[in-house]
A = this chain, B = another copy of it.
Amino acid sequence: MPLSKNKIKYIHSLEQKKIRKEENSFLGEGPKLVGDLLGHFPCRYLAATTEWLSKHPSVVANEIVEVSAEELSRASLLKTPQQVLAIFEQSNPKIEIETTKKSLSLALDDIQDPGNLGTIIRLADWFGIEQIFCSLGTVDVYNPKTIQATMGAIARVKVHYTSLPDLIALLKDIPVYGTFLDGENIYQKPLAESGIIIMGNEGNGISKEVENLINHRLYIPNYPQERETSESLNVAIATAVVCGEFRRQMVAPSQLL
């Protein structure tokens, strides 16, 4: 059964947040990503090549369509379409305050770039961070660029949208970390095993309202440290260095500078 023009149009419409929200749907492409998403999100529609389908005989979806590579490439949003494309149902996980209090989480204060958000979800998965709280102004996690950049980690990391000040108020006295140019050297500071790490917007950093709620100001030292710098790190890069150091200390808490 070939892909109808209407179906292709519908698939492309999922680039728009408004349509994704109305439909409660999102798009994923490629064997690794779709493989991870299946089983974690209900699959409403799946289009794949004969080759992919023959390797996945027991795949479950509301509608499964066998397509040629050429048809797939007309539907795909990727530069290099890859065997399979699927539409999934969005999930809206509940925030569990008690679990959150006992674990290390990330909070993103108005991250704008879909690739940055996806990359952060992927690295959170690597470092065993199971929850990410996004401010209401953060880019939509179901943006196809974000989903692709997670490389499947979105199936394992819970992403919530909420007011960060309200969340922090609910969590009460847990450690709240953020990075600032005037913060303490992260390598010299004993880091807690649970708490919330706030990362700010690409251009403006952490908003004033959220900054006021941070009780541990960290700094990733540049090198050589004597060098004055007006530079900064990309937010996903800074997140990686911070999460890596939290996890390093958790395995070797006494080894600080």
Binding site for B on A (CB under 8 A): 115, 119, 122-123, 125-128, 149, 151-153, 187, 220-225, 227, 229, 231-234, 236-237, 240-241, 244-245, 247-248, 250-252, 255-257
Min CB distance A137 to B, Å, is 16
Q: Are B119 and A231 in contact (CB under 8 A)?
A: no
Contact of A233 among B126, B234, B241 (CB under 8 A): B126
Q: Are B231 and A126 in contact (CB under 8 A)?
A: yes
Q: How far is the CA of A126 from the CA of B225 in the complex (A)?
A: 10
Chain B residue at minimal CB-CB distance from A254: B255
Chain B residue at minimal CB-CB distance from A122: B234
- In the bound complex, residues from chain B placing their C-beta under 8 Å from that of A149 are 234
Known contacts A119-B234, A252-B187, A257-B255; A223 and B240 CB within 8 A of each other: no
A-B contact pairs, 22 of them (CB 8 A): A115-B115, A119-B236, A122-B233, A122-B234, A122-B237, A125-B231, A126-B220, A126-B233, A128-B223, A128-B224, A128-B227, A151-B234, A187-B252, A220-B244, A233-B240, A236-B237, A237-B240, A244-B245, A248-B257, A251-B257, A252-B257, A255-B257
- In the bound complex, residues from chain B placing their C-beta under 8 Å from that of A220 are 126, 244
- In the bound complex, residues from chain B placing their C-beta under 8 Å from that of A229 are 126
Contact of A237 among B119, B227, B252 (CB under 8 A): B119
Q: Are A123 and B222 in contact (CB under 8 A)?
A: no
Chain B residue at minimal CB-CB distance from A248: B187
Chain B residue at minimal CB-CB distance from A239: B237
- In the bound complex, residues from chain B placing their C-beta under 8 Å from that of A231 are 122, 125-126, 151-153
- In the bound complex, residues from chain B placing their C-beta under 8 Å from that of A221 are 247, 251
Chain B residue at minimal CB-CB distance from A115: B115
- In the bound complex, residues from chain B placing their C-beta under 8 Å from that of A225 are 251
Q: How far is the CA of A46 from the CA of B233 in the complex (A)?
A: 27
Chain B residue at minimal CB-CB distance from A247: B223
Q: How far is the CA of A245 from the CA of B245 in the complex (A)?
A: 9
Q: How far is the CA of A227 from the CA of B125 in the complex (A)?
A: 11
Min CB distance A33 to B, Å, is 12
Contact of A123 among B234, B245, B252, B257 (CB under 8 A): B234
Q: How far is the CA of A210 from the CA of B116 in the complex (A)?
A: 30
Contact of A187 among B123, B153, B251 (CB under 8 A): B251
Q: How far is the CA of A221 from the CA of B236 in the complex (A)?
A: 18
- In the bound complex, residues from chain B placing their C-beta under 8 Å from that of A115 are 115
